[in-house]
Amino acid sequence: MTSKTLQDDVLKIMSVKVSGPAIRKFLHSKGYRWLPRSQKRIYNAEDRRLRLAFAKRILRVPVAELDKHVACATDGVVLTKRPVDPTEALNYCLHGETDMYRKRSEACKPELSGDDPYADQIPLSRAIPLWGAISSAGYRDIFYHKTKKVNTEEWLKALNKGKLLKAVRELQPWRPAGPRRILCDNESFIKSKGSKKYYKKNNIELLCIPPRSPDLNPIEMYWAWLRKALRRQELSDLRAKKPALGKTAYRARIKAFLKTKKAQTVAKAIFGSLRGKCKEVIRKKGAAIRS
Mean pLDDT score, 280-286? 95
Q: How confident is the model at residue 204 (pLDDT cuts 50, 70, 90)?
A: very high
Mean pLDDT score, 67-89? 89
Question: Of the ranges 174-178, 200-204, 226-230, which one carries the lowest mean pLDDT score?
Answer: 174-178
Write down the mean pLDDT value for the chain.
88
Give the rounded percent of residues in the chain with a pLDDT score beyond 90.
63
Determine how many CB atoms are found less than 10 A away from the CB of residue 32.
16
Give how far Cα 167 sits from Cα of 76, 97, 213, Å.
14, 28, 24
Q: How confident is the model at residue 1 (pLDDT cuts 50, 70, 90)?
A: low
Those residues with Cβ within 8 angstroms of residue 257's Cβ, 6 or more apart along the chain or in another chain: 226, 229, 230, 233, 263
Residue 26 pLDDT > 60, yes or no?
yes
Start-to-end CA span in the chain (Å): 19
H and E: helices and strands count for the chain: 13, 7
Residue 94 pLDDT > 60, yes or no?
yes
Residue 242 pLDDT > 60, yes or no?
yes
Dihedral sign for Cα atoms in the order 122, 124, 128, 130: positive
Residue 32 pLDDT > 80, yes or no?
yes
Residue 206 pLDDT > 90, yes or no?
yes
Residue 133 pLDDT > 90, yes or no?
yes
Mean pLDDT score, 80-94? 82
Q: How confident is the model at residue 174 (pLDDT cuts 50, 70, 90)?
A: confident
Question: Of the ranges 97-111, 188-202, 247-261, which one carries the lowest mean pLDDT score?
Answer: 97-111
Q: How confident is the model at residue 119 (pLDDT cuts 50, 70, 90)?
A: low
Those residues with Cβ within 8 angstroms of residue 5's Cβ, 6 or more apart along the chain or in another chain: 91, 94, 95, 96
Mean pLDDT score, 92-100? 68
Residue 118 pLDDT > 60, yes or no?
no
Mean pLDDT score, 114-135? 77
Q: Which helix (H) or strand (E) holds 219?
A: helix 218-239
Q: How confident is the model at residue 233 (pLDDT cuts 50, 70, 90)?
A: very high
**Where are the domains positioned within the chain?**
44-97+115-283
State the pLDDT at residue 102. 84
Cα atoms in the Cβ-side hemisphere of radius 13 Å centred on 108: 6
Name which of 223, 188, 211 is nearest 73 in CA terms.
223
Q: How confident is the model at residue 154 (pLDDT cuts 50, 70, 90)?
A: very high
Cis peptide before 179 (omega within 30 of 0): yes
Ramachandran region, residue 44 (left: φ > 0; alpha: ψ -120 to 50; beta: rest)? beta
* pTM recorded for the entire structure: 0.83
Q: How confident is the model at residue 64 (pLDDT cuts 50, 70, 90)?
A: confident
CATH fold, domain 44-97+115-283, is: Nucleotidyltransferase; domain 5 (3.30.420)
Mean pLDDT score, 75-87? 89
Mean pLDDT score, 110-128? 67
Rounded to whole angstroms, how far apart are CA atoms 137 and 67?
A: 9
